[in-house]
Homo-oligomer: A and B are copies of this chain.
């Protein structure tokens, strides 16, 4: 009953993070890699050799249509995400697609439609909703711990990649690569956005990538404001312009208190809660320091095995994409944009909790490493 995986894109996202997750799922026989493709011969052959599969598949289509592939992982460069995910869903396969799910709203809308009709499930990165820490913050907020949400800040940035020219080329940029995490998290807590404005630009005109100097043609610096309606706002600070920080990843201010996620939303380091009625901060240490941001794959496998719907819905990824595109537009002309789409609140159901407790049972590390 092992699920066959087809991998599209064998670059760095595959080679490190996803391979680790695949290996962990393969050990107990839940998955196996059936087919791989990358336009780069070296990467394709390397991945094929690791898994003992055909190194000579000539196209992504060969992977998608492979009879032993039930799940397609779309880990290619960003502009191919939408078309490949659509093709795989149309072929009846389950799909995990890295962020962004597509680079245009038309493509993204098609994916949402295909996923609705089924039979394939669609899981879109980022998978931050699946971290126990985000889950705890979400549950606390929904339980009213801080009252009505009024304002918020989020930040995710770093010095920027020294590999991968595409990050700095048209179609790349920090908003798509980094900002989308904060946008996804904030909407997960506040609900759908209604309006967006932003400052977006290139703050460092030249970068050294893979040892060579290149001009920067995609945004490397962005500040985004999101209006969640009823004068409730949030800001997102992102960019390849931040060397180091020491501040919460997400700060949410409500009418009765404040709640914060520490670390980064893709790598949480606990959370903390101020309630006026407590008159103290409750500081929760990270409950799962080994949580990986590739957990979406395990979640997809869980859902396929059990027949339940994923926690994260394609509609949420669509909404986040609309916000990022609106921020780019507002950044170019200084005019705020309305946001039209909507998405359902995540439902952490009983099945998810069972899968989680099962995961903890296997991953458990007692004190002192024993």
Are the CB atoms of A151 and B232 closer together than 8 Å?
A: no
Q: Can you list 16 A-B pairs with a CB-CB distance of less than 8 A?
A: A146-B243, A150-B203, A158-B368, A159-B367, A201-B231, A221-B233, A225-B225, A243-B253, A243-B254, A243-B258, A246-B248, A246-B258, A246-B272, A247-B248, A281-B284, A292-B369
Residues of B close to A221: CB separation below 8 A:
150-151, 231-233
A204: interface (CB < 8 Å) = yes
A266: interface (CB < 8 Å) = yes
Are the CB atoms of A280 and B280 closer together than 8 Å?
A: no
Q: A17: shortest Cβ distance to chain B, in Å? A: 4
Are the CB atoms of A334 and B197 closer together than 8 Å?
A: yes
Give the distance in Å from the alpha carbon of A249 to the alpha carbon of B178 in the complex.
23
Residues of chain A touching chain B, judged by Cβ–Cβ distance below 8 Å, are: 12-13, 16-17, 146, 150-151, 153, 155, 157-159, 161, 163, 195, 197-199, 201-204, 221-223, 225, 227, 230-235, 237, 239, 241-248, 251, 253-258, 260, 266, 272, 274, 276, 278-285, 292-294, 330, 334-336, 365-370
Q: Decide if the interface of chain A is mainly helix, strand, loop or mixed.
A: mixed
**Contacts known (A266-B368, A281-B282, A370-B13); A233 close to B243, Cβ less than 8 A:** no
Tell me the number of copies of this protein: 4
Are the CB atoms of B17 and A369 closer together than 8 Å?
A: yes
Contact of A151 among B203, B244, B247, B335 (CB under 8 A): B203
**Contacts known (A235-B223, A258-B242, A272-B246); A283 close to B281, Cβ less than 8 A:** yes
Most-contacted residue by chain B among A17, A223, A242, A285 (CB, 10 A): A223
Nearest CB in chain B to that of A232: its residue: B203
Give the distance in Å from the alpha carbon of A203 to the alpha carbon of B204 in the complex.
37
Residues of B close to A161: CB separation below 8 A:
367, 370
Q: A76: shortest Cβ distance to chain B, in Å? A: 15
Q: A240: shortest Cβ distance to chain B, in Å? A: 9
Nearest CB in chain B to that of A13: its residue: B370
Nearest CB in chain B to that of A177: its residue: B368
**Contacts known (A155-B153, A197-B199, A272-B246); A237 close to B239, Cβ less than 8 A:** no
Q: A231: shortest Cβ distance to chain B, in Å? A: 3
Q: A370: shortest Cβ distance to chain B, in Å? A: 5
Are the CB atoms of A223 and B234 closer together than 8 Å?
A: yes
